[in-house]
Amino acid sequence: MTLDVHTHPVLFREGSRREDVRRLVDRARSFGIQRMVALGDVLRFGRLPNARQISTINEETAQLLRWHPDVFIGFCHLNPMLGERAMVRELERLLPLGFRGLKLEISNNARAACMRPLMRLAERHDLVVLQHSWSMTRIRERAFHSDPADTAELAKRFPNVRVIMAHLTGCGVRGILEVKAIDNLVVDTSGAAPEEGVMQAAVEHIGAERILYGSDWPIRDFPVALARITASGLGLADQRRILGENARRWLRLP
């Protein structure tokens, strides 16, 4: 079973109709993708959404779970800058619906003090944290974007929380090396266009068991994202780990 850990079924207000979601599910299944982590329309309201806007984003994800509980796995989008009380209130609303993780975008850098209550909540509720990450040698906005080194430091500070560093291509080999010594940190394969050698470098340095397939759909289509792995020259056992086995274990799916 292929499991995509990085999708945005609703993005910039598109894709929220039931027929749109049905088409997405059919397209994913045509490429062998049975399960998808839904991360929400995380930039719909800009980088600093308020509590009401956060709830709107998460309610769209909750609707996906209601329509297709056998396909979608919900991650709750949070803005740590809103403070602990707002995050607790949103989590109390969503956790009974089966949400399994938290999605963080660019409201703040991963090293910021406001991350501490969020990570304690993740630890308390056994939630995975997927942190948007990108090399800040490419995007010079580190005040609120998270460099791979920032995400690595976050995982080191909270060793009991499972953390996913998003965007292998955007993090590059330097990001792979940041992950290497941190057992509670893995990387997903989403990001910009595939770059030759990056997937092979990731397997060489951190092992196939710490890489999770993610497409970033619809920013990248499924065949492009899958080809990063299936056309990389990796053996079938490593491909199976990356395409689904690792994610099932990391998300603790039954």
Residue-level pLDDT at 191 = 87
Residue 196 confidence (pLDDT): 83
Q: Rounded distance, CA 200 to CA 207, Å?
A: 10
Domain boundaries, the chain: 2-248
Q: Is residue 206 a contact partner of residue 199, using CB atoms and an 8 Å limit?
A: no
- The residue ranges of the chain whose pLDDT is under 70 are none
37 residue type, one letter = V
Question: Dihedral through CA 100, CA 3, CA 220, CA 53, nearest 10?
Answer: -20
Instruction: Tally the residues of the chain.
Output: 254
Q: Are 196 and 232 in contact (CB under 8 A)?
A: no
Question: Are 93 and 52 spatial neighbours (Cβ–Cβ below 8 Å)?
Answer: no
Residue 66, Cβ neighbours under 10 Å: how many? Answer: 9
**Class of the 2-248 domain?**
alpha beta
Q: For 68-79, what is each residue's pLDDT tens digit?
A: 999 999 999 999
Per the CB < 8 A criterion, the answer to whether 217 and 194 are in contact is: no
pLDDT of residue 217: 96
What is the model's pTM?
Answer: 0.97
The pLDDT value recorded for residue 225 is 95
Residues 151, 119 contacting (CB under 8 angstroms): no
| Residue 251 contacts residue 213 (beta carbons within 8 Å) | no
Backbone angles phi, psi at 41, to 5 degrees: -85, 70
Structure tokens at 246: 């690792």
* Both structure tokens of 229: 């792995």
Contacts of 213 (CB under 8 A, 6+ apart): 2, 3, 4, 5, 188, 189, 225, 226, 229, 242, 243, 244, 247
Rounded Cα–Cα distance for residues 24 and 9 (Å):
8
**How far is 230 from 203, CA to CA, in rounded Å?**
13
